[in-house]
Amino acid sequence: MGDAFKALALAAAVTVVLGPAVIAILKRLKAGQAVRQDGPRSHLTKSGTPTMGGILFLLGLTAASLALAPTSPLILSALVLTWGYALIGFVDDGLKVVLRRPLGLYARQKLGGQIFLGLAAGVAAVLWLGRGSAVHVPLVGITMELGWAYPLLAALLMVATTNAVNLTDGLDGLAAGVTIWVALAYGLIAAAVGQREMAIFAFALAGGCLGFLAYNFHPAKVFMGDTGSLALGAAVGFLAIITRTELVLPLLGGVYVIEALSVIMQVVSFRLTGKRLFRMSPLHHHFELLGWPETRVVLFFWFLALIMVAAGLYILAI
């Protein structure tokens, strides 16, 4: 675990050190975030805050991972996948905030890219990274051999995770803080099963997010944008694939799931009954409209993430 803790510290340090320069570049590019006009009024003051800041923790994650495991196929694969999803988000962010194209990438383009990368991750895990194609079902102790169907599960996992993290990224420090707990959990899981490289990658991910909070906690100086949220989801999804914990990820990343489900439930309820279940979705905005200060909502979700991570680790230990 010594190298994993070094990765955490190095990723955090690189992210913090590069922060001022990256934020200055984003301001020069006029990469300011537009704010939802139907959202909480307190968010109107955030208009113009630089976005695409996920590049910050990506640089920290990459530097730390390569410094401690420069030739690892697992590390290199994890970084390629994470940067691949980041590129989708970067193009989407760039179209929206730099080129002023309101909708960014078309939904089919964005989803198509996510599915392609998810399938590639599944194929690579089976053929080149030694993961195999079996899936373990926790609690009941059953292992299912999926064969060539496994890449389909991997693609579903990657698409679901990246979009759920994207929905979670709606308040200052929320997605980064939640992901710290999830990444630390995956670092412990990887270390427990002897995957040193994945422990390094997971702790580097946590360190990058920790360093990013120096600029992203309320009041945020920069937002991660789709560049960051899709990258976070990709990194977490890949960790689940390689550690063979795909079916535990919905619990370890329970906050992501809750946020995504709140959006789905809101849409279904409104279409079927004409009524909304929540004052606003994703769920974090519902609490804001109930009168909770933003930092209180964020800290509550961080605590909830810790509980769900602990529950997931407990199930794996049974």
For 168-192, write each residue's pLDDT tens digit.
999 999 999 999 999 999 999 999 9
Q: Which two tokens stand for residue 236?
A: 């977490």
**What region, left, alpha or beta, does residue 212 occupy, with left being phi > 0 and alpha being psi -120 to 50 degrees?**
alpha
DSSP secondary structure string, 186-233? Answer: HHHHHHHTT-HHHHHHHHHHHHHHHHHHHHHSSSPS---HHHHHHHHH
pLDDT given at position 97: 81
What is residue 99's predicted lDDT score, i.e. its pLDDT? Answer: 74
Average pLDDT of the chain, as a whole number: 93
**Which of 248, 236, 244, 219 is closest to 310 using CA atoms?**
248
What is the reported pLDDT for 105?
Answer: 87
Binding residues for Mg(2+): 166, 226
Q: How many CA atoms lie within 13 A of 44 on its CB side?
A: 5
Does the pLDDT value for residue 31 go beyond 90? no
Specify the DSSP class assigned to residue 135: E
Say if CB 12 and CB 208 are below 8 A apart.
yes
> Binding site: which residues?
166, 226
d(CA 249, CA 247): 6
Evaluate whether 75 touches 66 at the Cβ level (below 8 Å): yes
3-state class (DSSP) for residue 278: coil
Residue 143's φ and ψ, nearest 5 degrees, are -115, 125
CB atoms within 10 A of CB 24: 11
Residue 27 has pLDDT above 80, yes or no: yes
Which of 26-35, 59-68, 287-296 bottoms out in mean pLDDT, i.e. has the lowest?
26-35
- Look at residues 97, 12, 1 and name the one whose alpha carbon lies nearest to residue 59: 12
Q: What confidence score (pLDDT) does residue 29 get? A: 84
Three-state DSSP class for 166? helix
State the Cα–Cα distance between residues 108 and 134, nearest whole angstrom: 30
pLDDT digits (tens, 9 = 90+) for 104-162: 788 899 999 999 999 999 999 999 999 999 999 998 889 999 999 999 999 999 999 99
Give the model's confidence band at 30: pLDDT under 50 very low, under 70 low, under 90 confident, else very high: confident
